[in-house]
């Protein structure tokens, strides 16, 4: 397989992901759970997890049980925590595949207990406390009672307790400190802080990097594993680097006369005779139909003009007289001395880098680089 085979593709450097993992382990000084939901933030679930397991990861975080099953199918033996909701009907699958579920509600916990009782095997769970995020989690006033209930349920094995921060990536630290205070309060009141067999965790990437006291036994890092900053307010440790490039090729070059429309709706009309290229990437791959996108060709930023189509879009090539059909085009990554990051694109789209990389379509081949060159 060579890269010439592909119209648009992703190049993923697993060595960098492994390096990022080790830097985070050293920085945090506790267990690091790589969060690999949403196809490992676009990087490829199984490949990323297999590399990180070989590098020593003992826990993985996913959002859904389907993702946990894919990991088991790929041969992952490490612990897996489903961070989101799992229907009680899936409890037998979770037990069979040794997957840990999140519980945050008395009713669901009761049903988990009944399901596991029916097959006389305990279900492993982590209890999630809502210390202020207002998403999943048992509310503060019932948390201690909930933890006691779980510990007394015959077929539930309470393995861990966690919470999630709403604003750890914001410049203002007060909300995270407030959530931490509440979490510590529940750990103390429930006796969990004295119980060394429970795994306590709270921090996402921003929490792990900005709030050392939030590290507890483990941090759940997603975006930082992939070498990207959670926000402008968070500084990444030295050496953390992005691991993904998004590339395509120039597939056509034409000279169009003045006054010629380009792409659907003729949002761009040539002002003079112009050299217009077509590149093989579109919104079907995750490139948004937003005006003003740019790509790198021959180490220079060039404008995407006209509407982005599903599978293609057009570039203005007047500043690059020497380009040729087949030239590599970089949407995310480096070329010569120029670079466009997922964060640059997110800023342009007025969103976050998470959304850019999670939006990289499944149809794009993921090509895994090996040390010193291509696989
Ligand atoms: C519960 C939970 N923990 C950890 C993470 C990882 O977050 P980040 O990618 O900011 O490190 C997420 C991701 O959204 C999450 O939902």
Q: What are 318-373's pLDDT values in tens digits?
A: 999 999 999 999 999 999 999 999 999 999 999 999 999 999 999 999 999 975 44
Query: How many Cβ atoms sit within 10 Å of the Cβ of residue 226?
Result: 29
Query: How many Cβ atoms sit within 10 Å of the Cβ of residue 131?
Result: 26
Cα–Cα distance measured from residue 211 to residue 68, given in angstroms and rounded to the nearest whole number: 29
Specify whether 37 is catalytic. yes
Considering the domain boundaries, does residue 1 fall inside one? no
Asked if residue 275 and residue 209 are part of one domain, the reply reads: no
Considering the domain boundaries, does residue 318 fall inside one? yes
The finding on whether 305 has its CB within 6 A of some atom of ligand 1 is no
CA of 43 to the centre of ligand 1 (A): 16
The finding on whether 221 has its CB within 6 A of some atom of ligand 1 is yes
Asked if residue 128 and residue 33 are part of one domain, the reply reads: yes
Asked if residue 307 and residue 215 are part of one domain, the reply reads: no
Considering the domain boundaries, does residue 236 fall inside one? no
Asked if residue 260 and residue 142 are part of one domain, the reply reads: no
The active-site residue out of 77, 96, 254, 264 is: 264
Considering the domain boundaries, does residue 226 fall inside one? no
Residue the block writes with tokens 């010439």 = 4
Q: Which two tokens stand for residue 338?
A: 């120029």
Asked if residue 265 and residue 135 are part of one domain, the reply reads: no
Q: Cα–Cα–Cα angle for 271, 277, 281, nearest 5°?
A: 125
Burial of 232 (0-12, 13-18, 19+ CB in 10 A): exposed
Let me know how many helices (H) and strands (E) the chain has, helices first: 11, 21
The total number of residues written for the chain in this structure: 375
Least Cα distance to 65 among 82, 48, 78 occurs for 82
pLDDT of residue 1: 45
CATH number for the domain spanning 278: value is: 2.40.37.10
Asked if residue 313 and residue 196 are part of one domain, the reply reads: no
Asked if residue 186 and residue 42 are part of one domain, the reply reads: yes
Query: Do residues 206 and 165 touch, judged by C-beta distance below 8 A?
Result: yes
pLDDT of residue 3: 60
CA of 15 to the centre of ligand 1 (A): 22
pLDDT digits (tens, 9 = 90+) for 2-31: 567 679 999 999 999 999 999 999 999 999
Least Cα distance to 366 among 38, 33, 48 occurs for 48
CA of 109 to the centre of ligand 1 (A): 23
pLDDT of residue 375: 46
Asked if residue 88 and residue 188 are part of one domain, the reply reads: yes
CA of 370 to the centre of ligand 1 (A): 28
Q: How many domains does the chain have?
A: 2
CA of 316 to the centre of ligand 1 (A): 39
Please tell me the residue having the least CA distance from ligand 1 atom 16: 83
Cα–Cα distance measured from residue 138 to residue 163, given in angstroms and rounded to the nearest whole number: 10
Question: What's the Cα-to-Cα distance from 61 to each of 153, 166, 266, 351, rounded to whole Å?
Answer: 24, 18, 45, 24
pLDDT of residue 205: 98
Each residue's pLDDT, cut to its tens digit, for the chain (375 residues) gives: 456 767 999 999 999 999 999 999 999 999 999 999 999 999 999 999 999 999 999 999 999 999 999 999 999 999 999 999 999 999 999 999 999 999 999 999 999 999 999 988 999 999 999 999 999 999 999 999 999 999 999 999 999 999 999 999 999 999 999 999 999 999 999 999 998 999 999 999 999 999 999 999 999 999 999 999 999 999 999 999 999 999 999 999 999 999 999 999 999 999 999 999 999 999 999 999 999 999 999 999 999 999 999 999 999 999 999 999 999 999 999 999 999 999 999 999 999 999 999 999 999 999 999 754 444
Asked if residue 148 and residue 20 are part of one domain, the reply reads: yes
Across 76-103, b (16+ Cβ under 10 Å) vs e yields bebbbbbbbbbebebbeebbebebbbbb
Which domain covers residue 138, as residue numbers?
A: 14-221
Considering the domain boundaries, does residue 237 fall inside one? no
Considering the domain boundaries, does residue 209 fall inside one? yes
What percent of the chain has pLDDT above 70? 97
Q: Which two tokens stand for residue 147?
A: 């933890």
Specify whether 264 is catalytic. yes
Cα–Cα distance measured from residue 131 to residue 167, given in angstroms and rounded to the nearest whole number: 12
Asked if residue 57 and residue 116 are part of one domain, the reply reads: yes
Q: What is the DSSP string of 26-64?
A: HHH-SEEEEB-HHHHHTT-HHHHHHHHHHTT--EEEESS
Considering the domain boundaries, does residue 255 fall inside one? yes
CATH number for the domain spanning 152: value is: 3.20.20.10
Asked if residue 146 and residue 262 are part of one domain, the reply reads: no
Q: Which of 164, 224, 353 to mutate to test the pocket of ligand 1 (most atoms within 8 A of CB)?
A: 164
The finding on whether 353 has its CB within 6 A of some atom of ligand 1 is no
Burial of 375 (0-12, 13-18, 19+ CB in 10 A): exposed
The finding on whether 51 has its CB within 6 A of some atom of ligand 1 is no
Considering the domain boundaries, does residue 351 fall inside one? no
pLDDT of residue 120: 86
Asked if residue 30 and residue 157 are part of one domain, the reply reads: yes
Residues 6+ apart with CB under 8 A from 69: 93, 97, 99
The finding on whether 204 has its CB within 6 A of some atom of ligand 1 is yes
Query: Do residues 312 and 277 touch, judged by C-beta distance below 8 A?
Result: no
Cα–Cα distance measured from residue 205 to residue 221, given in angstroms and rounded to the nearest whole number: 5
pLDDT of residue 2: 54
The active-site residue out of 31, 37, 124, 247 is: 37
Q: Which ligand 1 atom is the nearest neighbour of the CA of 162? A: 1
């Amino acid at each position: 397989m060579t890269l010439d085979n592909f119209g648009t593709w992703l190049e993923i450097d697993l060595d960098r992901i492994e390096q990022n993992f080790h830097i985070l382990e050293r920085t945090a000084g506790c267990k690091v759970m790589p969060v690999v939901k949403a196809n490992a933030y676009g990087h490829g679930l199984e490949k990323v997890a297999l590399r990180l397991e070989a590098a020593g990861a003992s826990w993985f975080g996913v959002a859904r049980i389907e993702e946990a099953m894919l990991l088991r199918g790929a041969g992952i033996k490490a612990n897996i925590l489903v961070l989101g909701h799992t229907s009680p009907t899936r409890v037998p699958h979770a037990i069979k595949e040794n997957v840990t579920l999140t519980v945050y509600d008395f009713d669901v916990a009761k049903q988990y207990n009944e399901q596991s009782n029916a097959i006389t095997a305990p279900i492993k769970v982590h209890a999630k406390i809502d210390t202020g995020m207002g998403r999943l989690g048992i509310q503060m006033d019932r948390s201690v009672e909930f933890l006691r209930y779980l510990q007394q349920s015959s077929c539930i094995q309470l393995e861990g307790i966690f919470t999630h921060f709403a604003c750890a990536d914001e410049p203002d630290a007060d909300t995270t400190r407030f959530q931490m205070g509440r979490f510590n309060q529940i750990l103390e009141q429930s006796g969990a802080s004295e119980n060394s067999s429970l795994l306590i965790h709270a921090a996402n990437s921003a929490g792990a990097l900005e709030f050392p006291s939030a590290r507890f036994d483990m941090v759940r890092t997603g975006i930082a594993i992939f070498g990207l900053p959670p926000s402008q307010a968070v500084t990444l440790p030295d050496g953390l680097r992005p691991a993904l490039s998004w590339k395509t090729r120039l597939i056509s070059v034409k000279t169009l006369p003045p006054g010629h429309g380009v792409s659907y709706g003729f949002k761009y009309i040539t002002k003079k005779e112009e050299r217009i290229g077509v590149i093989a990437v579109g919104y079907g791959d995750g490139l948004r139909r937003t005006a003003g996108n740019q790509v790198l060709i021959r180490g220079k930023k060039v404008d995407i003009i006209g509407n982005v189509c599903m599978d293609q879009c057009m570039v203005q090539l007047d500043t690059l007289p020497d380009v040729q059909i087949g030239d590599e085009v970089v949407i995310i990554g480096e070329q010569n001395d120029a670079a466009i990051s997922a964060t640059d694109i997110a800023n342009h789209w007025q969103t976050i880098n998470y959304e850019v990389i999670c939006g990289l379509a499944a149809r794009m081949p993921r090509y895994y680089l090996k040390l010193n060159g291509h696989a």
